Homo-oligomer: A and B are copies of this chain.
């Protein structure tokens, strides 16, 4: 849809008339000059190797900060990935607690963490949104909560059945097992998130998965449900990222970095040109807005392989918004932010400053709408942007010039300019923020 919205390439304030044949020739000769700036790949690779070594050693020396490491005034709550037997055990304990409470005459009730916005907190040290510790009681013997406590019990029993069979299901499947009770999928979905918080485990640990749309290609070998996948041998289409992260294992890689790509088209260009053979990397895309499976997969790669992550997104507020979802999570999944987020993603491009640096022709730049500008200004208020001075400058310049550009705009210098000049030069100049 956003594709459609941005379809028309407005010639921008200067208008097509301002672009003379001469300026166009200048643009492409500039592209030629940039190509000449490229040093041999061996030099670029040596510098990438240094970046890789730094990432490895800093990951080895510095432990990743956890909520428990911080002395937070407000107690916070987090969930973690747990194996099926441990989750089953926790469910059994929860039900036993309820039974004891009934026997003791205190009645049937669940204690459920609150997931509302007022209970959410951005933690700068962790650079993500987490959930505070507030929770509320959900007694069965109360008209306002009887439905919800019944649904909670039902979802607990369904999840238990799924774990017993060691299978995975979707939220939709869960809903259909008892439409009469749930009435509406939003009700079973909400309680599923409650149950996840209650049990202190991720939704993946409950074996309830979302559908995936991400693909991966490049220097990565892993197992998907026991099958060994070599991502250098996945052609141009790549390997579909599995919906159930707990069946993913044995990650191995000789990559120097992970290249996170916003768009499908850029992914295809990189895969067809086998970019990962020239610069050893893992290339991943969620084809637009990141889905849960791709976010889990990226975090898994980053944590296990300790690779730096470089991002290639459109130069517009939406591209940065996508980065923020990968880095800081989305608000409605804040209780699971530690498993879904990948901190420290570098903004490689396309950045507002690239537009002039690479002399993207005026007619390939798009005029930002008022809504775009507002989105840009809103981002300037976000903590994750404020923390990075470079990002603030870029974003300020985007809002000031009111110009945006897609990754595809680089095609104006040739279809393979992205893989042959732009990215190698970026890597050579360590041009990321």
A interface residue count range (under 10 / 10 to 19 / 20 to 34 / 35 or more): 35 or more
Number of copies: 2
In the complex, the chain B residue whose C-beta lies closest to that of A186 is B7
In the complex, the chain B residue whose C-beta lies closest to that of A166 is B272
A224 touches B236 (CB 8 A): yes
A72 at the interface (CB under 8 A from B): no
A167 touches B239 (CB 8 A): no
A165 at the interface (CB under 8 A from B): yes
Min Cβ gap A202→B in Å is 18
Q: A224-B236, A236-B224 are in contact. Are A184 and B408 (CB under 8 A)?
A: no
A234 touches B228 (CB 8 A): no
- The binding surface of chain A is classed by DSSP as mixed
* Among A55-63, A106-114, A205-213, A340-348, the stretch in contact with B: A205-213
A361 at the interface (CB under 8 A from B): yes
Q: A162-B415, A233-B227 are in contact. Are A179 and B211 (CB under 8 A)?
A: no
B411 touches A169 (CB 8 A): yes
* Among A73-81, A241-249, A300-308, A328-336, the stretch in contact with B: A241-249
A238 at the interface (CB under 8 A from B): yes
Min Cβ gap A32→B in Å is 16
A19 at the interface (CB under 8 A from B): yes
B243 touches A234 (CB 8 A): no
A215 at the interface (CB under 8 A from B): yes
In the complex, the chain B residue whose C-beta lies closest to that of A16 is B180
B238 touches A240 (CB 8 A): yes
B273 touches A411 (CB 8 A): no
- 1/0 contact trace for A314-353 toward B, CB 8 Å? 0000000000000000000000000000000000000000
A233 touches B243 (CB 8 A): no
A155 at the interface (CB under 8 A from B): no
Q: A7-B184, A265-B170, A364-B179 are in contact. Are A237 and B209 (CB under 8 A)?
A: no
A278 at the interface (CB under 8 A from B): no
A172 at the interface (CB under 8 A from B): yes
B243 touches A235 (CB 8 A): no
B224 touches A268 (CB 8 A): no
**Could you show 26 A-B contacts with beta carbons less than 8 Å apart?**
A7-B184, A9-B176, A9-B183, A11-B180, A11-B183, A19-B180, A24-B180, A165-B416, A167-B415, A169-B411, A170-B408, A172-B265, A172-B406, A174-B411, A176-B408, A176-B410, A179-B412, A211-B265, A223-B235, A224-B234, A225-B272, A228-B233, A235-B247, A236-B242, A236-B247, A237-B241
